[in-house]
Structure 1
Amino acid sequence: MADIFQGIVMYQRAHKEKDLMVKILTREYGKRMFYIRHGKSKRYQYAADMQPLTMATYEGTINRTGLSFINDVKQSKLPRLFIEDVEKNAYMLYILGLIDAAYVDNQPIPHWFDEAQLAETKMVDGFDAQALANYFELHLLPDFGIQMQWQSCVICGNTQGPMDFSEHLQGVLCQQHWDRDEYRMHVNPKAIYVLQQLARVDLNQLNSLSLNAETKKEMARVLDRIYQEQVGVQLRAKTFIQDLHQWDKRLAERQQKNESTD
């Protein structure tokens, strides 16, 4: 009897001359690798349904070990946003990549499937893409074995006043204890506050969030340091996002220079 399941396509790669290997985050069976015979062929009727970030209801064979197979696609949706906006596409791929890195294949993780599906919906609805990625970075840290204290000072438990982040002490420091770590990150307090809020709430409670560029830059600086130095994960999509931001920065500087010489 065929299995019917919900899935989000994480990525695909070529296999042999005409075939594809497609990794799908399924709600019922966790992350699975599917062998798509003739998937690269122009005649393959489900080619559009195997594109990364596609959300669909599939029918196929789920094997306990090894590769699984898809026989039919009941319904599918790839939001146009992810075709037209390369940055949002990269952020959503990064979110799926984090889930992929945090969990082994074939392990049911319905919570994270639901979270990823909700993230796609929120991104399409206009929610800040980086903030969504930061939410996943924060909430997946325990799954990577990293425990950070975000809500109160790691020394005294104080929750009031400006805070800074101490990588060495694994959490935030109130102003009275900034001297406990001479290498604290000197983060903008607004960025720490937003990170605290993201770490505290469920994704379905996030309805709107307006952030300026400097705050987002500081948030990324903290989480990038944690993931590079403690988690040890640097995903291709993240590198692409960082390169994209560097390119935007150089372009803005060039335009500013041209305007000043006119």
Structure 2
Amino acid sequence: MLNKWEGIILKSIPYGESNKIVTIFTKEAGKLTAMARGAKKPASRLAAITQPFTHGTFLIRTGRGMGTLEQGERGESMRFIREDLEATAYASYIIELIDRLTENNERIQGIYELLYDALHAIDERYDPEAIALFVEWKMLPVAGIHPVLHQCANCGATEGEFAFSFQEIGFLCHRCFHIDKYLIRISPTQLKLIRTFYTVPIHRVGNLTLKKTTKQFMKKLVRTIYDEQVGIRLKSRSFLDQLESTPELLPRKEKPEEEGE
């Protein structure tokens, strides 16, 4: 069967002398792999459209086993992602996270839109670190983690002072602080921001700018959940950690006025 699907290239692996095996996250059919014959040849019509981050429309022949990529038409170029080291690093992390948490031919509502919105936002030069945080929080349910963020995870209270509990994987109100001696105290602004990361679509937020300390705090929370509850290790995260420890590797950029705590 020949299918015309919108999608984004997650990864492209050389196969043999001239072919590639590409992983594509499609809007209509979820994630799938396909053979792109001859795509390693520079003159191939498949060479350009099988690069990671490529958004476009793909003509894929499916049947038993792996599909075959017959042709494709590029959509958004994602040029900035390809040219900027920091954008490339965070986009790679987002792609690897989504790839690791999803299965081939598994259709999960909202994942393609999340991937597209995230890459589009980074390509539009929104803060890639903040965009990655959105993806990390929103992918928790896909990883089987459903944090309780709308009320106290213990008593169900919706008002009062709150803290974050890794034991309960969610918020605890001040009446229930005693059940977790290792809880993390949070401000009302931080509580609101966590809920925003988890529930609000990226395209509805706009260009959110946050203080570095705020992003570090949010990153510590969500990555502790992944480390303790999900247990995946991503190569792209190691590179992000290296960039974090050696900021001189990145070109200097103008800093926007920051919000948050």
One-letter code aligned to 2:23: K
Q: Which runs of 5+ in 1 are unaligned?
A: 252-262
Q: Aligned letter for 2:114?
A: E
Is contact 1:27–1:109 with CA below 8 Å preserved after alignment?
no
- Could you list the per-position Cα deviations for residues 152-177 of structure 1 after superposition, in whole angstroms to 9, with x for gaps in the alignment? 22234344455321111221123443
After the TM superposition, which residues 140-179 of structure 1 pair with which residues of structure 2 at under 5 Å, given as runs?
140-160=139-159, 162-179=161-178
In 2, Cα distance between equivalents of 1:156 and 1:103: 33
Matched, 1:6 2:14: no
- Of stretches 184-193 and 173-182 in structure 1, the one that deviates more from structure 2 is 184-193
1:103 is matched with which residue?
102
C-alpha contact (below 8 Å) 2:118/2:131 kept by paired residues: yes
- For structure 2, the 5+ residue unaligned runs are 251-261
Q: Partner of 2:220 in structure 1? A: 221
**How far is 1:187 from its partner?**
5.4
TM normalised by structure 2 equals: 0.85
> 1:191–1:89: structure 2 CA closer, same or farther, 3 Å change rule?
farther
Letter of the 1:165 partner, please give it. F
Q: Which residue of 2 is the match for residue 257 of structure 1?
A: none
Q: Distance in 1 between matches of 2:148 and 2:248?
A: 33
Counterpart residue identity of residue 111, structure 1: G
CA 204–168 in structure 1, closer or farther in 2 if over 3 Å, else same: same
Structure 1 segment 72-83 matched on structure 2, within 5 A: 72-83=71-82
Q: State the SS of the aligned residue for 2:153.
A: coil
The alignment's C-alpha RMSD in Å is: 2.4
C-alpha contact (below 8 Å) 2:8/2:53 kept by paired residues: yes
Q: Which amino acid aligns with 1:3?
A: N
Matches within 5 A, 1:17-166: 17-63=17-63, 65-109=64-108, 111-160=110-159, 162-166=161-165
Is the Cα contact below 8 Å between 1:60 and 1:71 reproduced in 2? yes
Letter in 1 for 2:50: M
* C-alpha contact (below 8 Å) 2:80/2:123 kept by paired residues: yes
Distance in structure 2 (CA, Å) of the matches to 1:249 and 1:162 = 40
Shift of 1:15: 1.5
Q: CA deviation at 1:227?
A: 0.4
Whole-angstrom distance in 2 between the partners of 1:80 and 1:188 = 38
Q: Which moved more, 1:97-106 or 1:152-161?
A: 152-161
Deviation at 1:189, TM superposition (A): 5.9
Report deviation, 1:178: 2.9
Name the TM-score, length of structure 1 as normaliser: 0.85
- 2:256 paired residue number: none
Whether 1:206 aligns to 2:176 is no
Q: Give CA-to-partner distance per residue, 1:156-206, whole Å, 9 cap, x none.
A: 434445532111122112344333211123556644431122223233321
Q: Which amino acid aligns with 2:152?
A: C
> Quick one: structure 1 residues 239 and 187, their matched pair in 2 at CA, closer, same or farther if it must change by over 3 Å?
farther
